[in-house]
Amino acid sequence: MCGIAGFFDADASFLSNEEQYQILLAKMGRTLKHRGPDASGTLLCNRCGLAHRRLSIIDITGGAQPMSKIYSDYHYHIVYNGEIYNTDDLRHKLTTLGVHFKTTSDTEVLLLGFIHFGPSFIQDVDGIFALAVYDERHETLTLFRDCFGVKPLFYTQTGNTFVFASELKGLFCYPGIAPAVDSNGLNEIFSLGPAHTPGCGVYKNVHEVLPGSYLSVSRAGVRETTYFRLESHPHEDSYETTIATVRELLTGAIRRQMISDVPICTFLSGGIDSSLVSSVCAGELKKEGRQLKTFSFDFTDNENYFQSNSFQPSMDKPYAAKMASYLNSHHTYLECTNQTQADYLLRSVKAHDLPCMADIDSSLLYFCEQVSHTHKVVLTGECADEVFGGYPWFHRESMLDCGTFPWTPTLAPRKSLLNADFANTLRMEDYVKNAYDRAVSEVDILPMENETETSRRRIGYLSIRFFMQTLLNRMDRTSMNTGLEARVPFADKKLVSYVFNIPWEMKAKGGLVKNILRQSAVGLLPDEILFRKKSPYPKTYNPYYENLLSARLKEVLSDESSPLLPLLDRTAVQKFLDNPKDYGQPWYGQLMAGPQMTAYLLQIHYWLTEYHVTIL
């Protein structure tokens, strides 16, 4: 994994002021050092500049970037962030054409694939990636992003110059690009947040390359091409064949994603998703006489305060212990204090350059930092619930037919804390409805499906397109903030495409949540884990944490210089802080309830202040 950045202008002469632009490239790279602490590199051409930060995982000695190749006397250059899982297959395809390789890196395979097949080569690539290729001959910069947006890639334009970076902070290094938000950006924060509209960078005139797309930037302008999208098809496999196919696709994805020249580990919560990933990894390593290292997370003294509810019925620790014993893994329990969790709220904002998932994000940032002390690569169980229908909104009729994003069924908790004039100016309901309608219009509906099946297909698509992206962003920023590469086998494009079309009567046969996944895992997990009721990522129920957040937000309310104050109803917020919080009524997803609302407002205050955000 790495960080990439750069700029392009078809009318520029960057080499005429080489020192200035080399300094600028180095600065853009330094802002992304956390993504790639092992090495750095820059390249400057007359029309284009590229910067790279490297986290060395594959071909540690031969994969330096930017990487360049000469073909027919013309130069081609690449910077790349990600991991390709079918490198050997792609290399073989190129070798049969007489192509020769100088390294074993996937970077070289990507560059030579582009040179020999053009941008459409990306359709054959299996992996997680964000990459930029500059073709000097045609003075064209091409940006690619993986199918589900596991790896980030932002861009904007200032004058005639196109600027891109793995993270938003990289863009702000370029002269003339400053953090500013208009009403659309504010709606992304207050109405949709922490989710965001696909392709939206929140800041004014900032965008993100859409998952499954590539951009071609040249003198003719910017052209977007979609190379992958979820398609709806009738599912014709039998129940037994479906189970076998899911098992084959998932275990194959896990095995492919174990590729690394450095040791791997897994996150192990004791739920079916992470346990299944860990089980396959442990089995593969055992064949080589090696032991898998696993990590689980919780909060200090959480066993004394845990409150079971419909969204979080049980604690993870007992199940993680049973699973670690079953796997004979080298297991480490990591705990986060409430003080650390609160303090890392601000670091989370810096990791995203935006408010994010509050303490759901800050705690994972801390845990990833601890894991990064000993490992560079981790496999996770992220994305299984979006793909296999594990969330309550797939099962509860009131959520299934709510006519909006089911993880935010009402804007009332948000609006109640905002200044009424500000909220009215945003027209929050209209913004959300427009975003929802646009997303739903992308779904291919099958005529033979009844209304309930159609609703579930739409919810499945929205969960993958919107909700999963929020969690992938969280996983990328929290892991890469300290140079840890997180891989997500459940986001494999063949697996997701197949499962998307499995009918609900199979997915949840007999009313069993994620039935198809559970049946495909028979024999890989003990039944106690295999049929455990879903319990999401842990959060603290310690009242000390709630009181700590409340005290901090009250300080903000008393700070007349805070840019957040004009946006809030101070009286409503004060009343909210003085009352006990409801932990079982989320305002976003499953976990973000009362305390997380307080934490989110603290993040917004810090973001507006620290980034000197201009509100337009």
Q: Is 173 a catalytic residue?
A: no
Query: With helix as H, strand as E and coil as C, how does 229-274 read?
Result: CCCCCCCCCCHHHHHHHHHHHHHHHHHHCCCCCCCEEEECCCCHHH
- Distance between CA atoms of 58 and 63, rounded to whole angstroms? 7
Beta bridge partners of 50: 6, 43
Q: Is 307 exposed, middle or buried (0-12, 13-18, 19+ CB in 10 A)?
A: exposed
Cβ atoms of 115 and 97 within 8 Å: the answer is no
Residue 363 CA: distances (Å) to CA of 328, 357, 370, 475, 512:
27, 10, 11, 11, 31
Count of C-beta atoms within a 10 Å radius of residue 139: 18
Q: Is 240 exposed, middle or buried (0-12, 13-18, 19+ CB in 10 A)?
A: exposed
Half-sphere exposure for 42 (CA within 13 Å, toward CB): 21
Rg (CA), the chain: 24
Instruction: Give which of 67, 45, 70, 69 is closest to 54, Cα–Cα.
Output: 67
Q: Which two tokens stand for residue 169?
A: 């902070």
Q: What is the separation, in whole angstroms, between the first and last Cα of the chain?
A: 36
Q: Is 585 exposed, middle or buried (0-12, 13-18, 19+ CB in 10 A)?
A: exposed
Q: Is the dihedral of CA 269, 271, 276, 282 positive or negative?
A: positive
Find the length of the chain.
616
Alpha carbon 600 to its chain's center: 18
Largest alpha-carbon pair distance within the chain? 72
* Catalytic residue (one of 2, 45, 173, 281): 2
- Distance between CA atoms of 278 and 430, rounded to whole angstroms? 43
**SS3 of residue 129 by DSSP:** strand
Q: Is the dihedral of CA 221, 222, 227, 229 positive or negative?
A: negative
Q: Determine if the peptide bond prior to 595 is cis (ω within 30°).
A: no
Residue 507 CA: distances (Å) to CA of 9, 245, 585:
50, 13, 27
Q: Which two tokens stand for residue 260?
A: 């690394």
Alpha carbon 552 to its chain's center: 28
Count of C-beta atoms within a 10 Å radius of residue 359: 30
Q: Which two tokens stand for residue 350?
A: 């810096």
Residue 392 CA: distances (Å) to CA of 387, 507, 514, 520:
13, 14, 11, 21
Which residues are known catalytic residues? 2
